[in-house]
Chains A and B, each alone.
Chain A
Amino acid sequence: MSNIVTVFKRELSSYFATPVAYVFIVIFLLLAGTFTFYLGNFYERGQADLLPFFNFHPWLYLFLVPAVGMRLWSEERKSGTIELLLTMPITMWQAVVGKFLAAWAFIGIALVFTFPIWITVDYLGSPDNGVILASYIGSFLMAGAFLAIASCISACTRNQVIAFILTVVVCFAFLLAGFPLVLDFFSAWAPQGVVDAISGLSFLDHFASISKGVVQLRDLIYFGLTIAFWLYASAVVIDLKKAD
């Protein structure tokens, strides 16, 4: 446990050691605001909730989370520090989880900075704060799932640009897993059971279900398992690819 904390602290402070972290947070807030107020007609709807704000989160994450996650392992491999990290007395699992949690916490920090929007609606009307809190939790979980995918893909290559692009593609597929675009691709040849299973993997469905205000166990399990699966895959990939 203490090893995870040590790796976590080093990783998180490394985000803030360069201006990149601040640039990222500013961009995140700008985009979140722009989407909400211009595209989401925040004021014109005349409703006191944050639906327009949260509706855009999946699309915001589609690009911003891969940008955070792309360096997770590609950079370690490129700079050779992976050799240092993995010859210290820590397990692969501790390294993978510690680094992942740091990146997740970083996104969490960016998310926390959107609180003025919540304060605004709370001031203008009387929103259901339970729903908003649930949506925040759902949004954070979804970011974690995106990030776990990013972790695994960044372990596959030492090139951050490739890691970024591949992660966006894979995340996009997971976002739209419940939509005809993805399902048609499978229904042509896969049995119905598989197609149903794939549509059950959709990030959007699970996120939407949480943001209705009920944090259901099945959605928590879904995101938990997704994160665990991709982190496990990260560890396997790192083990296979660390030599080259």
Chain B
Amino acid sequence: MIETRQLTKRYGELTAVDGISFKLEPGRVLGFLGPNGAGKSTTMKMIAGFLAPTSGSASVCGHDVVDDAIAAKRMLGYLPEGAPSYGEMTPHRFLEFVADVRGLSGAKRTQRIDDVIERLHLNGVLEQPIETLSKGFKRRVGLAQAIVHDPQVLILDEPTDGLDPNQKHEVRALINAMAKDKTIIVSTHILEEVHAVCSRAIIIARGRVLADATPAELETRSRYHQAVSLTAANVPAAKEALSKVADVAAVEIDPQDHRITAFPKPGRQIFVAVNQALQAQGVAVSELQLESGRLDEVFRTITQGSGQEARA
């Protein structure tokens, strides 16, 4: 379990994290979203016990990260931003070192190390100095290091950055598999990842929480929520037909692929009505889709909106 209360970090004049409070229960994966410089990494560093908060507090499984630091750190696996590791060591030696510091020993130690090597596909690079590994492999070594002691709480700062699509998929599967009994925070810039792994998303900008909801709830804030998109050979006819549907607020045509999108009036469902209207007008449609909402658009609206407020 992770809890933060009015967590704040100042660097001189700059307030990097400004009173962030949340509580996360086991079995939940929290996605941390926000533009560059929003304060995601700084928040994670404070929860991981690396930086002391300027004010406010954070606790991991009930242990305050400042007053009871060692106990909190024991509960925790942490992948810092950029996945740093000792470059001159081999992944094997590095994992052994981490296992030792984490207090693993004997058969358990061997078994856990073998397990993470297997899960992150490190077999081929085990005896190669980490500094000579590719970026993606370095990241995987960093991930392996974070989970080698099977911690109850995981903090992963951009865990899939630099991974190839197969590995992204595997790491997401790994996070999902661990999610059942652990408390996990991941930060990411990849919005599809929020869908794939997170049960909750917090969007922050300029150190403040701007949204805190499930990914599905965030999508309902999108203009595209419940919109209907379709591709038709006869675009003008299709547009004409859609405009006549009572609950359609607007119809837009994508200038590139000429895909047509009909937006509903607030709170209305238009899928059935649109379908009927198209059939009634005899418009041939090659593809028709009900949109659930677009996170990237929600992200933009929320974070850029706040920027203007803050400046004003």
A residues sitting closer than 8 Å to B (CB atoms) are 3, 6-7, 10, 13-14, 17-18, 79-81, 83-84, 86-91, 242-244
The 7 closest A-B pairs by CB, nearest first: A80-B84, A17-B88, A83-B80, A89-B73, A89-B74, A6-B100, A87-B48
Asked if A83 contacts B101 (CB within 8 A), the reply is no
Q: Max chain B CB contacts within 10 Å: which of A6, A13, A18?
A: A6
B residues sitting closer than 8 Å to A (CB atoms) are 11, 45, 48-51, 70, 73-74, 76, 78, 80-82, 84-89, 93, 97-98, 100-103, 129, 145
Asked if A81 contacts B85 (CB within 8 A), the reply is yes
Partner of B101, one of A3, A17, A18: A3
**Which chain B positions have C-beta within 8 A of A18?**
88
Asked if B80 contacts A91 (CB within 8 A), the reply is no
Task: Please report the C-alpha to C-alpha distance between residue A17 and residue B92 in the assembled complex, in whole angstroms.
Answer: 14
Task: Please report the C-alpha to C-alpha distance between residue A88 and residue B87 in the assembled complex, in whole angstroms.
Answer: 18
Q: Max chain A CB contacts within 10 Å: which of B45, B50, B76, B82?
A: B50
Task: Please report the C-alpha to C-alpha distance between residue A79 and residue B303 in the assembled complex, in whole angstroms.
Answer: 31
Interface of B is mostly: loop
Asked if B50 contacts A79 (CB within 8 A), the reply is no
Task: Please report the C-alpha to C-alpha distance between residue A232 and residue B19 in the assembled complex, in whole angstroms.
Answer: 33
Task: Please report the C-alpha to C-alpha distance between residue A84 and residue B73 in the assembled complex, in whole angstroms.
Answer: 11
**Which chain B positions have C-beta within 8 A of A84?**
78, 80, 84-85, 145
A-B contact pairs, 12 of them (CB 8 A): A14-B86, A81-B84, A81-B86, A83-B80, A83-B84, A84-B78, A87-B80, A88-B98, A88-B101, A88-B102, A242-B50, A243-B11
Interface of A is mostly: loop
Task: Please report the C-alpha to C-alpha distance between residue A13 and residue B86 in the assembled complex, in whole angstroms.
Answer: 12
Closest to B83 in A: A80
Asked if A89 contacts B101 (CB within 8 A), the reply is yes
Partner of A89, one of B82, B87, B97, B102: B102
**Which chain A positions have C-beta within 8 A of B98?**
88
Task: Please report the C-alpha to C-alpha distance between residue A232 and residue B103 in the assembled complex, in whole angstroms.
Answer: 26
Asked if B50 contacts A87 (CB within 8 A), the reply is yes
Closest to A92 in B: B69
Task: Please report the C-alpha to C-alpha distance between residue A7 and residue B76 in the assembled complex, in whole angstroms.
Answer: 19
Task: Please report the C-alpha to C-alpha distance between residue A14 and residue B93 in the assembled complex, in whole angstroms.
Answer: 11
Task: Please report the C-alpha to C-alpha distance between residue A243 and residue B10 in the assembled complex, in whole angstroms.
Answer: 11
Task: Please report the C-alpha to C-alpha distance between residue A81 and residue B97 in the assembled complex, in whole angstroms.
Answer: 13
On whether A6 and B101 interact (CB within 8 A), knowing A83-B80, A87-B78, the answer reads yes
Asked if A17 contacts B103 (CB within 8 A), the reply is no
**Which chain B positions have C-beta within 8 A of A87?**
48-50, 73, 76, 78, 80
